[in-house]
Structure 1
């Protein structure tokens, strides 16, 4: 196994322990956010908040999902963890590597990533921007045994207590060893090849010192049946906490090391019926069932790129790979007189790669006889596999890219300092907070987007080579171009840096019956660095074939600008009684458009943002306004109810929030299917409006537990017409009106647990307005405890093996009956067995 990771873990533990032992004498019972003994609506909110209010008494929409609930649900990716949170809308079909489109409250993702949702670990962002191109925030986070719970705040505090998160914050909160104990569990795929080991252990070292260590190891070919290991990951996280002598605080050191490789699934073809604009009766494509297969292939397990040093290099088709080292520290101290200081620091070293065979199905007719790279195509032949050299006569081909992006550096340095004071004013308590956030985010990458051709198959598809009319080979291993698939836009090489500073302030007036609050955040982002796009094409001799090639020697772009903006929120809470509260809130939050602003004609030759006037005049290399779209603003309005009580001999909680929001966005899009004229690489400008409601509820009665969430929204979109004027608002593409997850468990005499879960959504439309059916998948789990510390389990996902569409869709061939689609289905039926030893 990865010995460097294990050595790093040992070193970090030793460093943390030594630092804590060397600290002054401390006491036992300081308040710490993790390992909380409070549950339900009494749980203290620690995410994007003042860290001193329960969920019931907070005038924000906040949800906490504990580790036991996630473990029973057995999510197949981080996206499915997010589907357990109301307000978060994510397809969950991209695979365990990440690269999900994470929307919130009906505010869609215009291109990719999570532009308005920030993922945090222990209160600090894993990366500053959620939609970094080939570096989305879900690449870098894994739910493992070290996590105590996942807490999410939508709207409200996410606007002013975090940067770049006007929609929501999702915070992975670690165990800290308040309670001694742990476990080791082994999970094994029954009808697929995957092995996963989760472990954690923690507890007090002495009266004032405690620790926790946890992590995960995972390997296998995955549920979509690749014939080589697409998963090969290890992650270890730990912390040591020293409580302060007077009982007023703590100091904590944290570390994380990870070396992960997980697949990125890009969809599958399917057959369907088209009636008008309505698609129905979706069925698997012959030879390629997206429920249990993908276009990962042993014949495309590695491929050639033209690298940044001017050499042909063979790289692995390794999905999304990350290497992470993180060190952090937290300080919490409560002074006499009601003054509290909190500081949270983290240094991160992140790197990795993105390598994936994108999928696009088209008819093969017309390729023979066409001109490619200056030659007429005479035939298509198998480049590999059992049919190598034979003429290809199939009806369809996959002509999308082999892409490799080297993530050279995505490291960061972050610190968040808050000082709060609480003062009695007669019948009211006044709390004042001031803070300062700093984060420097590096983004250094080089892109390699090859023109590729392969057969359409879910069973080790072969690459396809083109031959000219004289019988000479025109392509190599199915590749007809290095780095040039999307033109000179995307043969990129850049090294950028963004520094975000943000002072913020909040006031809250609290009484027995009412509370009002307001906060403001002053953002400044400084952009620096630069890069180049592709230059003129040239030929490279690859195994005796001249292949057109691009490299990043084209026009350079330099960044040297800063941008300031203000975010705010205000809210009020009525404490109707000890079991009921109602709140209202309004907020406006900004989100800086980072690397997606580059190489689109929006940066002037001197590094400044282009103004509209400069773009109209074409001065200093400007072709588009860069100032206006550099910050996307989200406005949200909320009305919420929280209630708990007794029902039929059990206890329930209900949280309902009515919401309305709107935003505008300008961002760079890679996908040819979303760009005018079908060319990859374009800037999309759009406005969005949404209204709806989100729900989260729980019910406990004896051994029966029921947890459910739902998000209902009406999302609309307005684009830009041919004359530059906004188009009318119409239904937003790829956004279901309803997304829901329900989970029920029943404990039988503390000896067994039987569980059932359902996750689903209603229909979506594509960019052309065609409607795709909604649906749901059902999961089951059974856990048996033959001994008090041994648990045996069997979990089933999508037990009815439904072909459930969740992701984006498009018509690949509408000339046949049934038609051929490009789809993003949920995983098919999978069974996983597990054994867990607790101690």
Structure 2
């Protein structure tokens, strides 16, 4: 009864949202002339954007039998996302909390198919049609580390389901494609952004246009620096990125050759949580509010007293590392060739070579009672007292009720470079007045994955104001820790003191057939992936002591048993779909698909690999996860109240089975050392998109409704899937007061969600606002506010820290609080 009531409420919310929301371009320009031109284009070309991601080339959105959304740069600017992942909340079907911070490390689910462990196993992030990394859930290397939205990007295109699994590898759930500005329109901009009330500076820039009658170019990027909105006491953001491209059109003016270059050096924080207070009744949290002294809306556990820390590196030598969050260094060089031969034969080839590395160095967070540490055994001795290890109270007894007992983690990602090439040849055949298109292609990608992990057992003060490290002592006064470190590389057990150098090569021939008439289209495509795995992984080993300041600290380095990988796995993905054109403004589509994704580095150190490098039976069973999906949708555009609208509704049903390795104790029933998670998942629901523009008012948004369930290994009853709210939505509106002033309001929200332990977090939403003033052509002053009402919103992930007190103490990742930014933009 309770679940039926929740579903009915969610359905009513979907129906209510469907009368309001929409998706498409946001029309917010600097001059009246530009505004009028943009409005005319929107009215005449709504749904006419040519889809370039995961589909047959040349189709518009309204003609494509797929669920696809295009989010342009102006729309993203107006929405003011607080992180890269929050950009993805603007794409229906994508379900992500967006609270991990600008560095990344988000769990990106799609269409109610949850993330069993971490990362985005069924979602691929691309730049200009090629993957940034082959696997979305690389351990400590999720795919949202390696992309940054900046002024070089023209739009972000999202394709969900169906062809996402046959036009690309490792993406049966969705493809999110960052499409560059290629300089088709002459001009550029310089935008200066500054935090108001917090230290953060960013400069965005771009310029593009024609270098000659047959050559276009574009260059763009950003530089960013500051302490961020969560009031870190040192610079946690130090990032720069430049992307450039040159396009040479050939003699026929439609064929072209393009060169693309990207250089990036980024450092951004990863927010790992904060304590909170809540009422707790029957596994349900309510009235969430900040914990006294640590308000996660504007504070974090980044601290000057933990700005750097010791690790024992892979050679067994102590080394001091900076608390640098998520860092990336990338240089990529690519090209595209589009060549149209006679007789309607077209060749497309995309290539990119990438040299890329990075790191994940973050202060993880978990609220624990101080009493649970006192009296416990740490490093062979009973803890009798806890003292401040540094900071203004160094040496004094620590008597607060709670502390942070989670790890300082440093992951050195030595190499995540790749080489990728995608070649396709298509041919059109005229059959009476109809068109039949055959497209055959071959995809190749080699992905390196080399890293070493350093997870220290660590204790620190529970505070949002530069928390100090804590040292433990036994009853004789002997010190058991060194500057808060109780163990080197041993926080999650011996198996997670890890070093590896792996390579995966994915080759995939694919075939797509498409039949197009004036009334309908039919299409089918198939892809055959073969993934070859090689390299080695080392983990665990004998414990030895490292003496720091006279204290012997237990230490592990990955010199234990070594796995050598030498295996190959092949699998097939397919989809069949069709679209019926009721008229030029309305179309219906349907699709069925089965898409596979290969389990990459999460297969290692999990008992799945034989001594000769082959997969054992358990490994063969879990090597590939398949997603089955069924879709039925309608796309519609038209006039309303002297304005116009677009609308798209897609009904969904899907399921998948996953067996994967998880390293954290949180998802392993509290057991350290990792575990294999086996489960089945199923979901049904709907996606809604559209736009509304009436006079000087525009409204843009989307919503996703999901009824997602999970069947754990050995269980007989399906239960609610964790991390997936019944409804997630975004709305963004603008009103042009006159030729000079534009104001906007946006909202992002969701209904309740549960964590891995089944605790339910309440529904909530956050508001944002903007005001822009253009005193003259090509000059704009902007003021944007994220989370206008300063909501304390934890979007369904966290943990119960202490249920013995009222209110209950929990851990969670709240959204950033009220954050204001001012900007000056010059266009030219």
For the aligned pair, the TM-score class normalised by the smaller chain equals over 0.9
- Any runs of at least 4 consecutive aligned residues in structure 1 with deviations exceeding 6 A, and if so which? 35-38
- Alpha-carbon offset, residue 375 of structure 1: 2.1
Equivalent residue for 1:86? 92
- 1:645 and 2:651 are equivalent in the alignment: no
- Alpha-carbon offset, residue 807 of structure 1: 4.3
Q: Distance in 2 between matches of 1:404 and 1:39?
A: 49
Could you give the per-residue CA deviations for residues 714-752 of structure 1, whole angstroms, max 9, x where no partner exists? 00001113xxxx432111012100000000001233212
CA contact (8 A) 2:761 2:795 kept: no
Q: Distance in 2 between matches of 1:266 and 1:716?
A: 26
Q: Distance in 1 between matches of 2:98 and 2:827?
A: 31
Q: Distance in 1 between matches of 2:248 and 2:44?
A: 21
Q: How does 1:376-455 map to 2 (within 5 A)?
A: 376-455=382-461
- Alpha-carbon offset, residue 366 of structure 1: 4.0
Q: How does 1:459-498 map to 2 (within 5 A)?
A: 459-498=465-504
- Alpha-carbon offset, residue 51 of structure 1: 1.5
- 1:655 and 2:661 are equivalent in the alignment: no
CA contact (8 A) 2:537 2:604 kept: no
| Alignment match of 2:768 (pick from 758, 779, 784) | 779
| Alignment match of 1:819 (pick from 779, 799, 808) | 808
Q: Distance in 1 between matches of 2:404 and 2:77?
A: 37
User: TM-score by structure 2 length?
Assistant: 0.94
Equivalent residue for 1:242? 248
Q: Distance in 1 between matches of 2:192 and 2:754?
A: 40
- Alpha-carbon offset, residue 700 of structure 1: 1.5
Q: Distance in 1 between matches of 2:757 and 2:548?
A: 40
Q: Distance in 2 between matches of 1:257 and 1:757?
A: 33
- Alpha-carbon offset, residue 372 of structure 1: 1.4
- Alpha-carbon offset, residue 398 of structure 1: 0.5
| Alignment match of 2:551 (pick from 545, 556, 561) | 545
Could you give the per-residue CA deviations for residues 755-788 of structure 1, whole angstroms, max 9, x where no partner exists? 0000000001123322210100000000100111
SS of the equivalent of 1:809 reads strand
Could you give the per-residue CA deviations for residues 245-296 of structure 1, whole angstroms, max 9, x where no partner exists? 1223110000000000000001111001112222111110010001111111
SS of the equivalent of 2:794 reads coil
- Alpha-carbon offset, residue 658 of structure 1: 0.3
Unaligned runs of 5+ in 1: 1-34, 612-624
| Alignment match of 2:109 (pick from 89, 103, 109) | 103
| Alignment match of 2:572 (pick from 566, 573, 584) | 566
Could you give the per-residue CA deviations for residues 309-362 of structure 1, whole angstroms, max 9, x where no partner exists? 221000001000000000000000111111111000000011011001111111
SS of the equivalent of 1:153 reads strand
CA contact (8 A) 1:117 1:167 kept: yes
User: TM-score by structure 1 length?
Assistant: 0.93
- 1:127 and 2:120 are equivalent in the alignment: no
- 1:791 and 2:780 are equivalent in the alignment: yes
Q: How does 1:386-785 map to 2 (within 5 A)?
A: 386-611=392-617, 625-721=618-714, 726-785=715-774
SS of the equivalent of 1:824 reads strand
Unaligned runs of 5+ in 2: 1-40
CA contact (8 A) 2:99 2:815 kept: yes
Q: How does 1:21-32 map to 2 (within 5 A)?
A: none
- Alpha-carbon offset, residue 703 of structure 1: 2.0
Equivalent residue for 1:138? 144
SS of the equivalent of 1:299 reads helix
- Alpha-carbon offset, residue 39 of structure 1: 4.8
CA contact (8 A) 2:365 2:404 kept: yes
CA contact (8 A) 2:761 2:796 kept: no
| Alignment match of 1:369 (pick from 360, 369, 375) | 375
- 1:833 and 2:822 are equivalent in the alignment: yes
Q: Distance in 2 between matches of 1:346 and 1:464?
A: 47
- 1:289 and 2:295 are equivalent in the alignment: yes
Q: Distance in 2 between matches of 1:132 and 1:52?
A: 33
Change (3 A) 1:800 1:51: same
The number of equivalent residue pairs is 788
- 1:206 and 2:195 are equivalent in the alignment: no
- Alpha-carbon offset, residue 474 of structure 1: 1.7
Structure with the larger RCO, 1 or 2 (CA within 8 Å, 6+ apart): 2
CA contact (8 A) 1:807 1:825 kept: no
- Alpha-carbon offset, residue 74 of structure 1: 1.4
Equivalent residue for 1:14? none
CA contact (8 A) 1:669 1:680 kept: no
Q: Distance in 2 between matches of 1:515 and 1:323?
A: 44
- Alpha-carbon offset, residue 244 of structure 1: 0.5
SS of the equivalent of 1:672 reads coil
CA contact (8 A) 1:505 1:521 kept: yes
SS of the equivalent of 1:599 reads coil
* Aligned residues: CA RMSD: 1.3
Q: Distance in 2 between matches of 1:376 and 1:247?
A: 78
Name whichever of 677-686 and 357-366 sits farther off. 677-686
Q: Distance in 2 between matches of 1:373 and 1:680?
A: 17
